[in-house]
């Protein structure tokens, strides 16, 4: 499996079963959007920096809501959550996606705005790779992100939704999160991983060059 990051919450997950793109953004946020050529496209919520599906090919399977889905052997569970810590009264709903491919489980939290409930933790289950927002302001920030990580207990942590060069969305950088977490990141251009390479005991922090 190969994971690429295009900035913000947008990842391409290339698995043996097919290709998945998460939260494609519009160019208005200051970053260059990827060309959408994937089998599955996931949208966590309907904001322009996460739902740019205008150029999606007609054969792509677009998922925008909670529920159970499957395509080409890729299993996806969408779990309802909120974009804020006031039950959605400020920013509405957010969908957490649990993706199963190549015998691994990935969890993309979208623009999560709160700590997880016991029911959400149970629905998410065991996670190998967690993609978690850390930039604050519109989502959980560094401290809350570390608390959510302790709720999920993944093997690999990939932070997202933080300030990078060119991004016009007003959120914090990753420095406070890395300090709060207390792990030295492995930095990559693309992240290649297989089930047999997952860490057995220690937790790994992976961050992308951008």
In sequence order, which residues have a C-beta less than 8 Å from that of residue 89 and are 6 or more positions away? Answer: none
* Under 8 Å between Cβ of 145 and 134: yes
Q: What pLDDT does 47 receive?
A: 60
Residue corresponding to tokens 């998922």: 63
The mean pLDDT value for 22-27 works out to 89
Query: Is the confidence at residue 124, as pLDDT, over 90?
Result: yes
Q: How many helices (H) and strands (E) does the chain have?
A: 3, 14
The 3-class secondary structure across 90-158, one letter per residue, is: CCCEEEEEEEEECCEEEEECCCCCCCCCHHHHHHHCCCCEEEEECCCCCCCCHHHHHHHHHHHCCCEEE
Q: What pLDDT does 174 receive?
A: 95
In sequence order, which residues have a C-beta less than 8 Å from that of residue 118 and are 6 or more positions away? Answer: none
pTM: 0.94
User: What mean pLDDT value characterizes the chain?
Assistant: 91
pLDDT > 70: what percent of the chain? 92
**pLDDT band at residue 144, thresholds of 50, 70 and 90?**
very high
Query: Is the confidence at residue 51, as pLDDT, over 80?
Result: no
pLDDT tens sequence across 156-170 = 999 999 999 988 889
Fold of the 2-208 domain: Metallo-beta-lactamase; Chain A (3.60.15)
Query: Is the confidence at residue 58, as pLDDT, over 70?
Result: no
pLDDT tens sequence across 66-120 = 999 999 999 999 999 977 677 766 766 899 999 999 999 999 999 898 899 999 9
CA distance 129 to 107: 6
Q: How many residues does the chain have?
A: 210
Residue 166 or 17, more confident: 17
CA distance 62 to 47: 15
The mean pLDDT value for 19-30 works out to 89
CA distance 36 to 12: 9
Could you tell me the sign of the dihedral formed by the alpha carbons of 36, 33, 207, 177, in that order? negative
Domain range summary for the chain, segments of one domain joined by +: 2-208
CA distance 101 to 108: 13
């Amino acid at each position: 499996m190969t994971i690429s990051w295009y900035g913000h919450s947008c990842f391409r997950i290339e698995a043996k079963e097919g290709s998945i793109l998460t939260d494609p953004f519009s160019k208005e946020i200051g970053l260059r959007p990827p060309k959408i050529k994937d089998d599955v496209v996931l949208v966590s919520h309907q904001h322009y920096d996460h739902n740019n599906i205008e150029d999606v090919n007609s054969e792509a399977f677009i998922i925008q809501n909670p529920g159970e889905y499957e395509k080409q052997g890729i299993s996806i569970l969408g779990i309802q959550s909120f974009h804020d810590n006031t039950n959605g009264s400020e920013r509405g709903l957010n969908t957490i996606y649990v993706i199963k491919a190549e015998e691994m489980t990935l969890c993309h939290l979208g623009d999560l705005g709160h700590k997880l409930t016991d029911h959400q933790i149970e629905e998410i289950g065991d996670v190998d790779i967690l993609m978690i927002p850390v930039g604050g302001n519109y989502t959980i920030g560094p401290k809350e992100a570390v608390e959510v990580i302790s709720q999920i207990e993944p093997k690999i942590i990939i932070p997202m939704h933080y300030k990078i060069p060119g991004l016009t969305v007003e959120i914090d950088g990753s420095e406070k999160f890395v300090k709060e977490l207390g792990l030295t990141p492995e930095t990559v251009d693309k992240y290649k991983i297989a089930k047999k390479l997952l860490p057995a005991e220690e937790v790994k922090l992976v961050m992308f060059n951008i």
